[in-house]
Every structure is written in structure tokens, then in C-alpha cells.
Amino acid sequence: MTKYLQIFKQTLLALLVGFCASFFSMPVMAQEKQTFQNPIFPGFYPDPSILRVGEDYYMIHSTFAYFPGVPIFHSKDLVNWKQIGNILDRPEQLNLDGHNVSEGIFAPTISYKDGIFYMVTTLIKNGGNFVVTASNPAGPWSNPHWLPNVNGIDPSLFHDEDGKSYIIYNADAPNNKPEYDGHRTLRMFEFDLRNFKTVGPQHLLVNGGVDFSKKPVWIEGPHIYKVNGFYYLMAAEGGTSVHHSEVILRSKNVAGPYEPYEKNPILTQRHLPNSRPNPVSGHRAR
């Protein structure tokens, strides 16, 4: 477990790019004798999901109740980005009737397998979770394939080396009976990419968080990666305010059991004093 941070250096770099884009302005070394300025994306670009395909990087963001939905950007270096389209750019793809500005599209994620790009996300009021596909990331993207068995938010696709794919997501507490406010779970189905359907039983990966005795809240935003024979499950924990964090667990089996890293969280600012200069603040307590 001591090699977690090294193994996830590239993944955390992607997360930090998005995190810094919202909050910081500071010079960072990109290459020898070169610098770049954060934020690389000033303004409204929440929940970044970054994908690498060959030498190309693609990044998408939440858009909540705004249309068109889910902008997609392209980069060769993670620093300089150009918008190449919107994934949800037609009314039949995105029904936002009745949504408040903080509802709509939550936490989209982008993945790639065998020449096809996949974007999976949650439409909060009008349909739930769905997946769209494209052979060209600039579009056009398909109409939604709805996922009625995936009940929750923050879905993510993982494509394993053996050809199988899985969908991981935030869901209700066991038996829909939370033991405290913010008690959630992470769950997973095998996923049939051809027919856009879940396969077999649902797997409970994490109940509550990395340490249930501490009543962890809002385990969400899950992603699975496979490195050197281990499956690494990374997720957010602690809500969207000042206690927000990233945690990581691993297993030899994609369905678990997952063992938490003993030095979790791997990314947070909640231990820093409130009196520090330029603190990062949160907008709500969840």
C-alpha cells in the first residue's frame, strides 16, 4: 500500500489540474525552462474528467441545468486546451425542463474502448443515469441510453484488460436505511457495452467510506484503475465543503473486497488552519 501515491501520480495530476483551475493562481513547472499559469480554466468548469488516448487528452465537465451540456476539450500537454464541441448539444439528448440551476447534469466521466468514446453521467430529475457514445470525440454523440438499474449518481465506466466493462456509482445505504446523515455506498455492475445493459448481480464495494466507525459522509465520484495486478478504487469523501477529500482503496479482485490505504485521505485541505492566507472555502455543508 506504500506505493499508492507513485502509482496514481498521473491520475492525481489530472485531478489537481481541475482542482487548481477552480481555486488557485500560481506558477508551476511544466517542463524545463517553461512555466504555466493556473488557473488553466478560469471560471465555471466543475467536476473535470480527463481521458488520455494515445498522445491526446480530453476533458469534460459538469454543466448542471445549462444547455448545451458537457463541453469537451482537447489538449496535447494538459496545459493548453481547445474546446472541440459539446457532448449534449441537441434537445433530444438533454431535457432540462423543471430543473433548478444546481440540478441537471452531475459529474460526467469519459472513457474509451476499441475505437469508441463513452460518456456516462446523471440527469438528476428527468431520467437518471445514462451513457452516450461517439467514434469522434468532437461529435456527433448518440442519444442517451438510459440505465434504469443504476440508481444513484456519479457513474463511471471501467474497461478491464479481459474485455469486460463495469459501471461504478454512488448509491443508497444498504436496504435504503442510512445509519446517519450522509451515509452512502459505492456499488458496481458488470456492463454490456453493446446493449448498454447491466449484467449479473450488483456488487457492494464500499459501505459508508474508508472507516465506517467514523461515520464518513458522501462517498462519491468513484473511479477504478488497474495497475500491476491491483484494482484501485478512488473516490471523494466528506462532502463538497471544507471537509472534502480524495480516498483510495485497492483489491486483487474487481468486485472486492477493497482495502483502504492506511494514510487516507490522499488529497485534502481540511487539516489546514482556517486562519491561513487565501483559504479554500466551501459553499455548503454537504
Residues 76-131 have pLDDT tens digits of: 999 999 999 999 999 999 999 999 988 999 999 999 999 999 999 999 989 999 99
Determine the distance from the C-alpha atom of residue 55 to the mean position of all C-alpha atoms in its chain, rounded to a whole number. Answer: 21
Concatenated DSSP letters of the chain: -TTHHHHTHHHHHHHHHHHHHHH---EEEEETTEEEES-SS-SS--S-EEEEETTEEEEE---BT-SSEEEEEEESSSSSEEEEEEEE-SGGG---TT--TT-SEEEEEEEEETTEEEEEEEETTTTEEEEEEESSTTSPPPPPEE-TT--SEEEEEEE-TTS-EEEEEEEPPGGG--SSTT--EEEEEEEETTTTEEEEEEEEEEESSS-GGG-----EEEEEEEETTEEEEEEEES-SSTT-EEEEEEESSTT-PPEEPTT--SEE-TTS-TTSSS----SS--
34 pLDDT higher than 90: no
Which three cell numbers, joined as nine digits, stand for 22? 477552480
The residue with greater pLDDT, 279 or 72, is 72
pLDDT at 203: 98
pLDDT at 278: 81
Mind telling me the catalytic residues? 47, 220
Taking domain 4-268, whether its CATH number is 2.115.10.20 is answered by yes
pLDDT at 25: 36
**Percent of the chain residues topping a pLDDT of 70:** 87
CB 40 within 8 A of CB 24: no
Over residues 46-57, the mean pLDDT reads: 96
**pLDDT-derived band of residue 263, with 50, 70 and 90 as boundaries?**
very high
Sign of CA pseudo-dihedral 16, 3, 238, 191: positive
**pLDDT-derived band of residue 15, with 50, 70 and 90 as boundaries?**
very low
12 pLDDT higher than 70: no
pLDDT at 75: 97
CA 64 to each of CA 46, 122, 158, 184, 228: distance values in angstroms, whole numbers, following the listed order: 10, 10, 24, 22, 36
14 pLDDT higher than 80: no
pLDDT at 220: 96
What average pLDDT does the chain have? 89
Q: For residue range 147-165, list pLDDT tens digits in order.
A: 999 999 999 999 999 999 9
pLDDT at 38: 83
CB 67 within 8 A of CB 126: no
Domain boundaries, the chain: 4-268
pLDDT at 32: 63
Over residues 217-225, the mean pLDDT reads: 97
**pLDDT-derived band of residue 284, with 50, 70 and 90 as boundaries?**
low
pLDDT at 17: 41
pLDDT at 36: 83
Q: For residue range 169-219, list pLDDT tens digits in order.
A: 999 999 999 999 999 999 999 999 999 999 999 999 999 999 999 999 999
CB 241 within 8 A of CB 252: no
